[in-house]
């Protein structure tokens, strides 16, 4: 059983509401939008990701006979309703920001327009997919900005939250600008470059550290990155220097060393000195262990001679912000704009578009969120990607998505690129304020009679 493709990977209330829509004959078109409500201080921007998996999910949406049989066995649903699910497919339209687009709170990055049952049913999994990859891409972008021109590798699979999280974190971080991942499956599935060195266990299983280095070099002659912190980092660096001539005679070149514990910057400086003195100035230093974007910034600001970083747990769990306050909300039904006004959770109604202006220096200069029917200056960020359940174009190559992300990050206002406190201007257009006010007035009067 693959949980990633089962339609039962949803909340029970989607199915109970669908039973309701079925009984009531509610089949009109609904418009739902996915957006992030707010970001906590210290986080200035987001990077959209997860659209590809979302569209793939919509394309294959269906109930298997076994799933329907099991639903029947719960005795929660009527036979007529379950029969109606047999042929259910996603036949709606999707508008979205391309993956790798920078965005901000209150800006929808995906809009679903479909018969209400379909649009409702997919809520849980769409949030689940968009949330995860957007979360990780947004986190990864911060390391990319803090360590430009360094080798950045996702090492987080082991502490990612489950299989899909590790696989898609590799994808999301690659989109954001990471060089690659240690997760082999991400190489096979997405063609993401793979990186890997050796673990302490390889050293420990040998009686002698230098012998372990030599053995590993012969087993992986094209990828000799030696882990040197198992017992004494500087002593191990000297062993590397001593070993190098012997390996050279065997035609093997040491590519790098990895340091995984202690004061990484200080060890890197000492190890650099040892390697250089030993004629190994071509050997790169790779650091790992409890790293995040701030650790990278501080190490590089201190001039630590580190050429690459393995970023693991903090990346794959987005440890400082392990979730986004993101939702998928009904904005229109049966041709009429809708709004919830729950305390602290009110929504802006209607089908929306986001327009972005760029300054003379090609940096982002401010966004406007408004109704689709209210064009504004600037670039519209939501584009049609699916119509009648079919994609409008084949999925872009991952390399293209990654380039789009790089361009998008390059156009961030400078304070955001430096991860400084900065509030980017996102204007809610007058048209939206007016529509919201009209709906509120009608709702208070007991109805929502507004035609959009």
Looking at residues 229 to 248 of the shown chain, list those that interact with its own copies (rule: CB under 8 A): 229-232
Q: Which of 189, 248, 273, 441 binds its own copies (CB under 8 A)?
A: 189
Q: Which of 33, 14, 312, 42 is nearest to 173 (CA)?
A: 312
**Closest approach of Cβ 35 to its own copies, in Å?**
14
Q: What is the DSSP letter of 389?
A: T
Q: Which is nearer to its own copies, 26 or 151 (CB)?
A: 26
The SS3 assignment for 71 reads: helix
C-alpha to C-alpha distance for 452 and 433, rounded to whole angstroms: 13
Region of 105-113, 166-174, 381-389, 411-419 interacting with its own copies (CB under 8 A): 166-174
C-alpha to C-alpha distance for 423 and 372, rounded to whole angstroms: 25
Region of 1-9, 143-151, 272-280, 384-392 interacting with its own copies (CB under 8 A): 1-9
Q: What is the DSSP letter of 97?
A: P
C-alpha to C-alpha distance for 230 and 194, rounded to whole angstroms: 23
Q: Which is nearer to its own copies, 202 or 422 (CB)?
A: 202
The answer to whether 128 contacts its own copies (rule: CB under 8 A) is: yes
Q: Which of 40, 119, 24 is nearest to 78 (CA)?
A: 24
The answer to whether 30 contacts its own copies (rule: CB under 8 A) is: yes
Residues numbered 55 to 84 that lie near its own copies (CB under 8 A) are 67, 70, 74, 76
Residues numbered 304 to 323 that lie near its own copies (CB under 8 A) are 313, 317-319, 322-323
Region of 38-46, 180-188, 410-418, 419-427 interacting with its own copies (CB under 8 A): 180-188
**Closest approach of Cβ 300 to its own copies, in Å?**
21
C-alpha to C-alpha distance for 168 and 186, rounded to whole angstroms: 8
Q: Which is nearer to its own copies, 22 or 411 (CB)?
A: 22
Residues numbered 403 to 422 that lie near its own copies (CB under 8 A) are none
Name residues whose C-beta falls within 8 Å of residue 437's C-beta, 6 or more positions apart in sequence: none
Residues numbered 338 to 397 that lie near its own copies (CB under 8 A) are 338-345
Binding mask 253-282 for its own copies (x = CB under 8 A): -------xxx--------------------
The answer to whether 34 contacts its own copies (rule: CB under 8 A) is: no
DSSP letter for each residue of 206-267: SS-HHHHHHHHHHHSTT--EEE--SS-HHHHHHHHHHHHHHHHHTT----EEEE-SS-HHHH
């Amino acid at each position: 059983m693959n949980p990633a493709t089962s339609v039962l990977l949803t909340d029970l209330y989607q199915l109970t509401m669908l039973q309701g829509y079925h009984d009531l004959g509610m089949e009109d078109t609904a418009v739902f939008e996915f957006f992030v409500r707010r970001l906590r201080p210290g986080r200035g921007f987001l990077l959209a990701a997860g659209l590809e998996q979302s569209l793939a999910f919509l394309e294959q949406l269906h109930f298997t006979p076994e799933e329907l049989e099991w639903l029947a066995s719960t005795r929660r649903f009527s036979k007529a309703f379950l029969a109606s699910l047999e042929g259910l497919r996603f036949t709606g339209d999707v508008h979205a920001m391309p993956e790798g687009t920078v965005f901000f709170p209150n800006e929808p990055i995906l809009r679903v327009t479909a018969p209400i049952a379909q649009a409702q049913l997919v809520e849980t999994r769409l949030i689940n997919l968009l949330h995860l990859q957007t979360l990780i891409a947004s986190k990864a972008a911060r390391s990319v900005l803090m360590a430009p021109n360094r080798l950045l590798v996702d090492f987080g699979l082991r502490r990612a939250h489950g299989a899909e999280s590790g696989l898609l974190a590799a994808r999301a971080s690659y989109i954001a600008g990471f060089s690659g991942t240690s997760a082999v499956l991400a190489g096979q599935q997405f063609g993401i470059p793979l990186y890997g060195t050796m673990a302490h266990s390889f050293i420990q299983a040998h009686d002698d550290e230098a012998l372990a280095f030599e053995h590993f070099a012969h087993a992986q002659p094209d990828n000799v990155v030696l882990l040197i912190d198992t017992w004494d980092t500087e002593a191990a660096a000297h062993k590397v220097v001593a070993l190098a001539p012997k390996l050279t005679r065997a035609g093997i070149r040491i590519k790098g060393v990895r340091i995984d514990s202690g004061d990484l910057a200080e060890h890197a400086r000492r190890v650099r000195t040892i390697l250089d003195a030993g004629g190994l100035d071509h050997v790169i230093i790779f650091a790992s262990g409890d790293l995040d974007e701030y650790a990278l910034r501080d190490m590089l600001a201190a001039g630590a001679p580190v050429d690459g970083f393995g970023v693991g747990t903090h990346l794959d769990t987005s440890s400082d912000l392990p979730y986004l306050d993101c939702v998928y909300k009904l904005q229109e039904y049966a041709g009429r704009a809708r709004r919830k006004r729950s305390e602290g959770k009110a929504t802006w109604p209607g089908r929306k578009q986001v327009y972005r202006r760029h300054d003379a220096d090609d940096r982002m200069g401010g966004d406007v969120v408004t109704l689709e029917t209210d064009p504004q200056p600037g670039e519209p960020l939501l584009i049609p990607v699916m119509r009648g359940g079919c994609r409008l174009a084949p999925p872009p190559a991952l390399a293209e998505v990654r380039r789009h992300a790089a361009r998008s990050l390059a156009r961030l206002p400078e304070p955001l690129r430096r991860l400084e406190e900065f509030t980017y201007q996102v204007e809610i257009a007058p048209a939206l304020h007016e529509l919201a006010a009209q709906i509120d007035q009608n709702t208070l009067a007991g109805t929502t009679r507004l035609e959009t």
